[in-house]
Homo-oligomer: A and B are copies of this chain.
């Protein structure tokens, strides 16, 4: 994993400087109810309160801010189920860059609308029968614009890692050392970046990722030592983390730094959303609630431990949110 093209801790620090004043320093909130219930100290890093409603602004802005004037003039294209889309669109708007975003036609309405509202051109595709990479590459060729990957990218990974950098700084202010650091996992941009900060600043902290059942490409990739693709492209409520398969850069960083990957069901994600609504007063989307769901459902022993759970986003439609409240 000593590839010099891979980001390291200093690149996370550099990303933190790049996004300073634009990204929200989201609060690290202790959940008293969950801490009492599990005899642990449970904190959440509330990335649902991030600009664009998800951590994705961190990586997207870091990536776009590194483009030179010529590259900015060419514009950017990205593919995303919705949160990276909004992160790229909002960052492009701030930097005055034209953005085209390729999104599944079944993305949550809110994510489609918000991406358009940040000034991006949205092109939809059929998740089951079309390749978003091919569409994005074709647009890139036709228009000369630059592809902004959603997770397999030096600056994207470094940018997402700032969430952990901040969380550890905030924990230090409370004299707390995390024993466990847990995040949702889609392509592995967030957890790979976070692991760079965690392993540098708090090497004894164990890092766990959480995926939806049936979409556990990272879990199976790490188990088998090779990239394993999900069998299905859709079929879970956790739209934000249904990436077909991780990529080598993310895989290598995760394989070195993660203690394990857990899975939860859609129903467990919905219950965790309701729990966050009731006990934390936070709006969390299904794919962003999976780390909380893993802890709520005893997928990992947290007794006596200091735990940080990343609630990675809150962009969810009314219908799905009501379904969670009625669960």
Verify if A123 is at the interface (C-beta below 8 Å from B). no
Verify if A51 is at the interface (C-beta below 8 Å from B). yes
C-beta contact mask, A91-131 vs B, less than 8 Å → 1, else 0? 00000000000000000001000000000000000000000
Verify if A60 is at the interface (C-beta below 8 Å from B). no
Q: Say yes or no: A277 contacts B283, CB within 8 Å.
A: yes
Q: Say yes or no: B314 contacts A318, CB within 8 Å.
A: no
Interface residues of A in 3-46 (CB under 8 A from B): 24, 26-27, 29-30, 32
Verify if A176 is at the interface (C-beta below 8 Å from B). no
CA A26 to CA B27, docked complex, whole Å: 8
List the one stretch of A187-195, A247-255, A258-266, A319-327 in contact with chain B. Answer: A319-327
Contact of A321 among B26, B284, B325 (CB under 8 A): B325
Contact of A322 among B27, B284, B322 (CB under 8 A): B322
Which residue of B has the minimal Cβ distance to A278? B110
- Residues in B with CB closer than 8 Å to A281 are 48-49, 53, 282-284, 314
Copies of this chain, complex-wide, total 2
C-beta contact mask, A267-298 vs B, less than 8 Å → 1, else 0? 00000000001101111100000000000000
- Residues in B with CB closer than 8 Å to A24 are 29-30
- Residues in B with CB closer than 8 Å to A27 are 26-27, 49
Known contacts being A24-B29, A27-B27, A29-B24, is A280 close to B49, with CB within 8 Å?
yes
Which residue of B has the minimal Cβ distance to A276? B283
CA A282 to CA B280, docked complex, whole Å: 9
A171 to chain B, nearest CB (A): 14
A84 to chain B, nearest CB (A): 17
Which residue of B has the minimal Cβ distance to A117? B33
Q: Say yes or no: B32 contacts A49, CB within 8 Å.
A: no
Not counting A110-B278, A322-B322, a sample of 18 additional A-B residue pairs whose C-beta atoms are within 8 angstroms of each other reads A24-B30, A26-B27, A27-B27, A29-B49, A32-B51, A48-B281, A49-B280, A49-B281, A49-B282, A277-B283, A281-B282, A281-B284, A281-B314, A282-B282, A283-B283, A318-B326, A321-B325, A322-B325
| 8 residue pairs, one from A and one from B, having the closest CB atoms | A281-B314, A281-B283, A48-B281, A27-B27, A318-B325, A277-B283, A322-B322, A53-B281
A sample of 5 inter-chain contacts (CB < 8 A) reads A26-B27, A29-B49, A277-B321, A281-B282, A321-B325
